[in-house]
Chains A and B, each alone.
Chain A
Amino acid sequence: MRLRKLLQKVVDNFYFKRTTYSIVTLFGLSILIFAIARVLPGDPARLALGPRAPEDVVERYRALLRLNEPIYIQYYYWLVDVFHGKLGVSLVTFRDVATDILEFLPATIELIIFTLIIDVAGAFILGVLSGRKPNSLIDNFVRIFAYAGIAIPAFVWAIILQLVLANWLDLLPAYGRLSLGIEVKRITGLITVDSLLAGNINAFIDGIRHLIIPSLSLAIGCIAQEARILRANLIENINKDYILNLYSHGIPQSIIFFKYALKPSMIPTVTVMTLDMASMLGNAFLVELIFNWPGLSRYGITAMLRKDLNAIVGVVLVIGIAYTLASILIELLVSVLDPRVKHKR
């Protein structure tokens, strides 16, 4: 009886439910992307071996990849592989896709984490500055910055920043993850973490310096959008009765603003932030290309162009997992900010 109750509790648990749904979603996603990758025009075996390979070699390679089998048989074999921790062989690197992803993912994750730090700081500072005094001088500066930030794509920012900060002012390195001559033993694949683990402060600083321009160019668009959302919500909320009520009791303005108006205004911004974070995994490829950053987006785009079947499926699944985690994270953050969500669940 007690066991049954415990079981019931686990099944009713929100995170258990969410994880179960997520697994089903990812399963569906894998079927979909598996099919789409194979429906795309072009012969993967021919592309992998090049135009000069003799036809019988290509045919044998095709048989090796089981491309002649019906698609559900192919999917079955792929799924068996997945349960053995493999994602199939890449047609470009000729290694297992899982190994490839593990190699390229940390660079992108490091980039995204750093971007997120800049993004959160920038969006909140600018949003609060402009929301505090709407239509003031500061607000108008932020407005111009935001329009530019939204209108100009990340890869253009990347080139501009590279040109100004690295080339003209020579403040920061223009590309790469580390300067020549500095090496860090790979443990997690995140250079900042690995250098700290090795106790190498110079490498840590060098890693950070390499991160600044690429993260900044990725973050600017997000900051612009999120600062505007925060501003709009702040302005809407400070005119609400629950704020005027506190004014009517003579509570200091700073407490009203930073405690009572900011918290409910943060909810939409935090939601957008988390989604932006997930989408960066797939959208960062131009920035990764420009900065010669050995990340997952770049790997994914190469896979698409070369019709590297298993790599496409693998990368899309990783992005899918990122979105699933992001949506769980959103639920978590929003339920912290807004008690109504938690209690309705």
Chain B
Amino acid sequence: MLLELTNLHVHYKSYWYVFKVLNGVWLRVRRGERVGVIGESGSGKTTLLKSILKILPLNGMIIRGEIKYDGKDILNLGESKLAEIRRREVGMIFQDPMAALNPVFKVKDQLYDILKYKMISEGRNPSKQELYDEALKMLTDVKLPDPERVLNSYPFQLSGGMRQRVMIAMALTSAEKLLLADEPTTNLDVTIQDQILKLIHNLVIQKNLSAILVSHALGMVYQMTDRAYVLYAGDIMEEASTKELFEKPKHPYTQILISSAPRLSSKGISEGIKGKLPDYRNPPAGCRFAPRCPYSMSKCNTIKPEPIELNKEHITCCHLYG
């Protein structure tokens, strides 16, 4: 097991309120495995990924739970050990490449620093020339045309697709074991989305990385992952091998989510799910999906459903199966 999250609780604190976002999430990634996390916007997917690297915003707090990476306890790891992991083992592709690149620094400023500290932790002391060569290689790897110009550009001078490629190049410098991809195609044109997906897919296979792919684009998860988790309002609803999850979804939320995805064969636009995500300040005491669930029973509102193992590869959290 490369990564194992158990019973993770993450809260955000504002001046007046506590937003109880992640509510006992678990997640496992085996070595070489590609895992997907699907769920609608605001369900805590990004929070989940940021917790793994402990890079939550200042008001984000990991209240309870355990994150085991490669046998190490991330939450109780010293700052320098954690830095090693961040520099050389785990890399993250952020959702919005415009927001994730510093607007007032050139690409090379940011990329050089990332490479520099990675090389330092490998026991090397890189010269400017080495950094330049390495950065050029990274950008060529992600199929950026004219990498030299990109290095000397500010992020706002690049197109969305180019920015996302820079972002991927950055993530890959650090990701030698695990790649975290947070909706890597959401902010891109449809034509570019496909290119970027293929790029990530090829790089993951080529470098034999384990990966967590977070997305609300179901097709993408279906194509690229071995196993998938369904996240709703900070709770894992269902876990199964990707094929089984898409073909035999058990949890009502998963069923509705998958059937509401637009298909070429379907007529018109599907209805979607009525209602909206619960208020994280005061979330439902039982199943967090209960207020929107067509099958909800009285105990759904009061008792949080425990994970039920339907078979070895299929776990769901629903009172219908309990």
B292 at the A/B interface (Cβ < 8 Å)? no
The stretch among B97-105, B253-261, B304-312 that forms the contact with chain A is: B97-105
A51 at the A/B interface (Cβ < 8 Å)? no
Distance A134 CA – B174 CA, assembled complex (angstroms): 30
Cβ contacts under 8 Å, B82 to chain A: 250
CB <8 Å contact, B102 and A134: no
Which A-chain residue is minimally distant from B58 (CB atoms)?
A239
B55 at the A/B interface (Cβ < 8 Å)? yes
Distance A260 CA – B53 CA, assembled complex (angstroms): 20
CB <8 Å contact, A247 and B58: no
Contact of B104 among A134, A235, A246, A263 (CB under 8 A): A263
Min Cβ gap A158→B in Å is: 36
* A-B CB contacts (within 8 Å), total count: 91
B170 at the A/B interface (Cβ < 8 Å)? yes
A55 at the A/B interface (Cβ < 8 Å)? no
Min Cβ gap A251→B in Å is: 5
CB <8 Å contact, B84 and A250: yes
Residues of B74-96 contacting chain A, CB below 8 A = 82-87, 90-92, 94-96
Distance A97 CA – B164 CA, assembled complex (angstroms): 62
Chain B: interface residue count, which band?
A: 35 or more
Cβ contacts under 8 Å, B53 to chain A: 247-248
Count, chain A residues at interface, CB 8 A: 27
CB <8 Å contact, B83 and A250: yes
Q: Given A250-B82, A340-B154, verify A242-B117 contact (CB < 8 Å).
A: no
Cβ contacts under 8 Å, A260 to chain B: 102, 105, 110
CB <8 Å contact, A251 and B114: yes
Cβ contacts under 8 Å, B156 to chain A: 339-340, 343
Min Cβ gap A139→B in Å is: 12
Contact of B101 among A242, A255, A343 (CB under 8 A): A242
CB <8 Å contact, A339 and B104: yes
Q: Given A134-B58, A241-B99, A244-B50, verify A249-B104 contact (CB < 8 Å).
A: no
B57 at the A/B interface (Cβ < 8 Å)? yes
A245 at the A/B interface (Cβ < 8 Å)? yes
Min Cβ gap A91→B in Å is: 52
Distance A248 CA – B182 CA, assembled complex (angstroms): 13
Residues of A310-345 contacting chain B, CB below 8 A = 337-340, 343
Contact of A245 among B57, B85, B94, B154 (CB under 8 A): B94
Contact of A241 among B85, B87, B90, B94 (CB under 8 A): B94
Distance A286 CA – B114 CA, assembled complex (angstroms): 53
**Most interface-central of A249, A255, A263, A264 (chain B CB within 10 A):** A249
**Most interface-central of B87, B102, B173 (chain A CB within 10 A):** B102
A4 at the A/B interface (Cβ < 8 Å)? no
Cβ contacts under 8 Å, B85 to chain A: 250
Distance A338 CA – B156 CA, assembled complex (angstroms): 11
Q: Given A248-B92, A249-B87, A249-B118, verify A255-B113 contact (CB < 8 Å).
A: yes
A184 at the A/B interface (Cβ < 8 Å)? no
Distance A248 CA – B171 CA, assembled complex (angstroms): 9
Distance A134 CA – B13 CA, assembled complex (angstroms): 14
Residues of A193-247 contacting chain B, CB below 8 A = 235, 238-247
Distance A119 CA – B55 CA, assembled complex (angstroms): 34
CB <8 Å contact, B105 and A263: yes
**Most interface-central of A238, A245, A247, A264 (chain B CB within 10 A):** A245
Cβ contacts under 8 Å, B208 to chain A: none
Contact of A264 among B87, B92, B102 (CB under 8 A): B102
CB <8 Å contact, B114 and A241: no
CB <8 Å contact, A245 and B170: yes
Min Cβ gap B141→A in Å is: 17
CB <8 Å contact, A251 and B174: no
Contact of A338 among B96, B104, B157 (CB under 8 A): B104
Cβ contacts under 8 Å, A41 to chain B: none
Q: Given A134-B58, A249-B174, A252-B117, verify A264-B103 contact (CB < 8 Å).
A: yes
**Per-position binary interface string of chain B over residues 128-147, scored 1 when its CB falls under 8 Å from any chain A CB and 0 otherwise:** 00000000000000000000
Min Cβ gap B154→A in Å is: 5
Residues of B102-130 contacting chain A, CB below 8 A = 102-105, 110, 113-114, 117-118, 121
Cβ contacts under 8 Å, B100 to chain A: 241-242, 244-245
**Per-position binary interface string of chain B over residues 153-178, scored 1 when its CB falls under 8 Å from any chain A CB and 0 otherwise:** 01011000000000100100110000
Cβ contacts under 8 Å, B83 to chain A: 250, 252
Cβ contacts under 8 Å, B86 to chain A: 247-250
Min Cβ gap A345→B in Å is: 13
CB <8 Å contact, A264 and B104: yes
Residues of A244-289 contacting chain B, CB below 8 A = 244-252, 255, 259-260, 263-264
**Per-position binary interface string of chain B over residues 46-57, scored 1 when its CB falls under 8 Å from any chain A CB and 0 otherwise:** 000010010101
Which B-chain residue is minimally distant from A238 (CB atoms)?
B58
Contact of A242 among B57, B99, B113, B173 (CB under 8 A): B99
Min Cβ gap A264→B in Å is: 5
Distance A248 CA – B180 CA, assembled complex (angstroms): 10
Distance A18 CA – B150 CA, assembled complex (angstroms): 32
Distance A35 CA – B256 CA, assembled complex (angstroms): 74
Q: Given A235-B58, A339-B104, A340-B103, verify A246-B114 contact (CB < 8 Å).
A: yes
Distance A17 CA – B114 CA, assembled complex (angstroms): 41
CB <8 Å contact, A240 and B91: no
The 5 A-B residue pairs whose C-beta atoms are closest, nearest first, are: A250-B86, A250-B87, A250-B83, A239-B57, A241-B100
Q: B residues engaging A (CB < 8 A)? A: 50, 53, 55, 57-59, 82-87, 90-92, 94-96, 99-105, 110, 113-114, 117-118, 121, 154, 156-157, 167, 170, 173-174
* 5 CB < 8 A contacts A-B: A245-B167, A249-B91, A249-B118, A252-B117, A340-B154
Known: A245-B170, A248-B174. 5 other contacts (CB 8 A): A241-B99, A245-B92, A245-B100, A249-B87, A260-B102
